[in-house]
Amino acid sequence: MTPRAVAVPQNAFLSRHVGQGANYTDCYEVAVSGRVDLAQFITRFYTTWLFRLERLVLSVGLRRRIADTEVAALAAGAQGFAIWRVEAREEGQILLCDLRGGTCSWLAVAPGEAGDTRLLFGSAVMAPPGRELPRIVRILTPFHKRYARSLLRAAARKLRKG
């Protein structure tokens, strides 16, 4: 159940940010038994104990609580959530970008082997045109990689529990 780093799939909305100058992109996957749709993945991902901590931090910055009802609305088709807007969405994937356009998060589900579902989570950090990624981004990248895997692992556990 350990998420592993994989290449961003060519058909992924996130792929538009791969190889774009100073951008950083990553992608992780983990398999869970049974069929999981995108709405279920979105709901479980953004309501894990770990992402609730991130929501708490964001709530302080936004000066408002980020409720589970906002997660449910995103899963049902809303065009935004907290500090993100939906840049692209289809049945099996969603790409959310922050309101400033500096970061994106991508969630996807895909059929796996023997009735499993592959859960994919990727992110992109975009440097301003003609500039490099800020030094703090490069310094925090190892932490981000661990955090991304932990988020995906927590969502997979939550899906397994039902």
Domains of the chain listed by start with CATH number: 4-161 (3.30.530)
Q: How confident is the model over 147-154, as a mean pLDDT?
A: 97
For residue 128, is pLDDT > 90?
Answer: no
Could you tell me the pLDDT band of residue 113, with boundaries at 50, 70 and 90?
A: confident
**pLDDT per position as a tens digit, 95-112:** 999 988 889 999 999 998
Could you tell me the pLDDT band of residue 120, with boundaries at 50, 70 and 90?
A: very high
The pTM of the full predicted model, rounded to 2 decimals, is: 0.94
The confidence score (pLDDT) of residue 129 equals: 81
Q: How confident is the model over 122-148, as a mean pLDDT?
A: 91
What contacts 121, CB < 8 A, 6 or more positions away?
3, 27, 28, 29, 45, 105, 106, 107, 108, 148, 151, 152, 155
**Sign (positive/negative) of CA torsion 42, 103, 85, 71?**
positive
For residue 44, is pLDDT > 90?
Answer: yes
**pLDDT per position as a tens digit, 16-30:** 988 776 689 999 999
